[in-house]
Structure 1
Amino acid sequence: MRKLVRPQDVLLLGLAGALDTFEELRDPFRLVSKSYESMYGWVPKQYRKNNFGNLVWRSLKAGYIEKIEKKGSVYIRITSQGQERIQRDFPLLDFHRKRWDGKWRIVMFDISELEKEKRNYLRRKLRELGFGMLQESVFITPHDIIKDFSEYLDSIDLGKYVYMLEASNILVGDFKELARKVWNLDQLNDKYREILSHLTALNGRTMQLNSQEQRKIEIRKTREKYLQVLLSDPFLPKELLPSDWVGYQAKKLIKNL
């Protein structure tokens, strides 16, 4: 299930470096910084700049961001509290920077039809955490998430239904083929290809656009599309990705916008 992304999420994701924009951002209240313009470019076009300013104020008040001064210039940056919120709401983003330890985590559960709401909730949560469905009640992931997930299940009284295993090997012929089927990587790769094609066309078109405003609109649309694809990515280790994976290339081009 695709996670609903709020404007505040976009701000914090950008400041956390998850969107490959800026880890620090010039004070948007001055409305003169190119960094501000780039950060605002991640926010959906219907989100007006005065609303964006209010969003920054609310984030400052909540303690998710802070203002700092460097060499006479004022910047904002994400705080540890803001980082914790991103890690809580988008836990998969942590994994794309980590090396795979070669182990698989397997979650199995047995929940009767009488408690299907619990069963459906568990399946949704597993997918949200990047697990792939091997069978209807068997999910797998290469990410080292079992301990945290076990504690979470206990906190919501679902631990008694779930069995978890950690294995150094799964008896399959080809790990990449397993990953391709379980996580439907062909479809995800096609979405990244669409982004890549759009970026390539955009780079060729920007010089022909009549105004800076038109260019910013095109960039904003592209970033919105990329963000939706990015947050549906299970961030599998490179050992499990197909040889023609274009996600990294799309990321590089987005970063250079």
Structure 2
Amino acid sequence: MVLTIRKIRKFRDGIAERVVDMILIGIYFNLEAPSLIQKKRYLIESSVEEDLEKLNYHRIKRACSFLKRKGLIDFVKEKEILPIITKAGELKLRKIIPFYDEKRVWDGQIYLVSYDFPKDKNKERDYFRKFLRDIGCGMLQQSNWLTPYNPTNLIKKFIEKHELSGDLILISSIGKNGMIGTKTLKELMEKVFLLSHLNLRYREFVYKAKSGKEKRGELIYLFLSILNEDPQIPFSFLPDDWLGEEAYVLFKKLRLM
């Protein structure tokens, strides 16, 4: 699958719905260098140029003032430099963009989530399916989902929030050497999370990042769009030719440029 600029921008719009979020992301990745103290034209990467060109100077400054009041950014000196992201700002960013998990702490179990909602609970069933996707589960069959990370507490909160009976949802655990049917867990991870397709997208990113022909901002948003779909399962379940780690190393270099 070849990513188009439109698809990348669609993802970008999704994670930066508000002006303040977009500017916070831009500051974090150094995608623009606006003069926030003096009134002059700001210089930015072309990947966000069209978006920020729609914003006038005063709107950007108001957004930065808002971020400063909320403690999400700070200014080191009263001069023409980008502000820095505070710890609170980093926590905010983790809610609006995906971050690569270098550790992937795992308890050695695979969790199978099964559910059986009655017809009068169709709305809750649809909510639950979306919820499972949001917490990183992959669909094995229509009412059976897999995840390598223990979802018990999250599902318990979902049940309480929607006032459901605990009997509607069953969570089972399988050891790391177990099987479901004739497939090993590694084979199931490949099938459920479409790892081959995801690896092709990482391959595309690696190629573009090494080519030196792509703009830094577009590469950053391309990587984030891929990472947004990556379930980041434990490393032991990844294919031998997995390119996600190489892509992340290249992304970190872009981040520091």
Q: Secondary structure at the match of 2:48?
A: coil
Residue 98 of structure 1 aligns to a residue whose secondary structure is: coil
> Residue 149 of structure 1 is aligned with which of 143, 155, 160?
155
Match of 1:46 among 50, 57, 61: 50
Cα drift, residue 133 of structure 1: 0.9
Distance 2:197 2:65 in 1: 39
Residue 66 of structure 1 pairs with residue 73 of structure 2: yes
SS of equivalent to 2:123:
helix
Contact 2:159 2:165 in 1 (8 A): yes
- Give 1:238 deviation, angstroms: 0.7
2:231 to 231, 234, 238: 234
Q: Offset of 1:244 from its aligned partner? A: 0.8
Other-structure match for 1:189: 199
2:190 corresponds to which residue?
A: 180
Question: What does residue range 145-224 of structure 1 map to in structure 2 within 5 Å?
Answer: 145-158=151-164, 160=166, 161-169=168-176, 170-172=178-180, 173-201=183-211, 203=212, 205=213, 218-224=215-221
Is 1:124 the counterpart of 2:130? The answer is yes
Picking from 109, 121, 124, the partner of 1:103 is 109
Q: Could you say what secondary structure the match of 1:198 adopts?
A: helix
The CA deviation string for residues 155-175 of structure 1, in whole angstroms up to 9 with x for no partner, is 232463322234434324533
Return the alpha-carbon distance in structure 1 between the equivalents of residues 152 and 233 of structure 2: 16
Provide the residue aligned with 2:246 in structure 1. 249
Checking the alignment, whether the CA contact within 8 Å between 1:68 and 1:76 is kept in structure 2 is: yes
Q: Which residue of 2 aligns with 1:210?
A: none
Residue type of the partner of 1:44?
V
User: For residues 117-156 of structure 1, what are the alpha-carbon distances to aligned partners after superposition, in whole Å with 9 as ceiling and x for unaligned?
Assistant: 2212211121121101111111111123421332243123
Q: Please name the residue that 1:134 is paired with.
A: 140
Provide the rounded CA distance (Å) in 2 between the counterparts of 1:87 and 1:176.
Answer: 28
Cα shift readout 1:47-88 (whole Å, capped 9, x = no counterpart): 216455443333333x25031538x988422343x4554555
TM-score between the two structures when normalised by the length of structure 1? 0.71
Whole-angstrom CA distance in 2 between matches of 1:148 and 1:42: 40
- SS of the residue corresponding to residue 254 of structure 1 reads helix
- Are the equivalent residues in 2 in contact too, given 1:15–1:78 (CA < 8 A)? no
- Kindly tell me: are residues 11 and 181 of structure 1, through their superposed partners in 2, closer, same or farther at Cα, counting changes over 3 Å? farther
Q: TM-score, normalised by structure 2?
A: 0.71
Relative distance call for 1:45 and 1:122 in structure 2 (3 A) is farther
Percent identity of the aligned residues? 22
SS of 1:69's equivalent in the other structure is coil
Structure 1 residue runs without a partner (length 5+): 206-214
Q: Is the 8 A contact 1:108 1:162 kept in 2?
A: yes
Equivalent position amino acid for 2:86 in 1: I
110-119 or 157-166, which deviates more: 157-166
Q: How many residues align?
A: 227
Hey, what's the Cα distance between the residues in 2 that align with 1:48 and 1:74?
15
Specify whether residues 240 and 251 from structure 1 end up closer, same or farther in structure 2 by C-alpha distance, changes over 3 A only.
same
Kindly report the root-mean-square deviation, in angstroms, between the aligned alpha carbons of the 2 structures: 3.5
Q: Which deviates more from structure 2 when the two are superposed, residues 45-54 or residues 188-197?
A: 45-54
The one-character-per-residue Cα deviations of 1:206-232 (angstroms, maximum 9, x if unpaired) are: xxxxxxxxx7xx222222222211111
Counterpart secondary structure, 2:50: coil
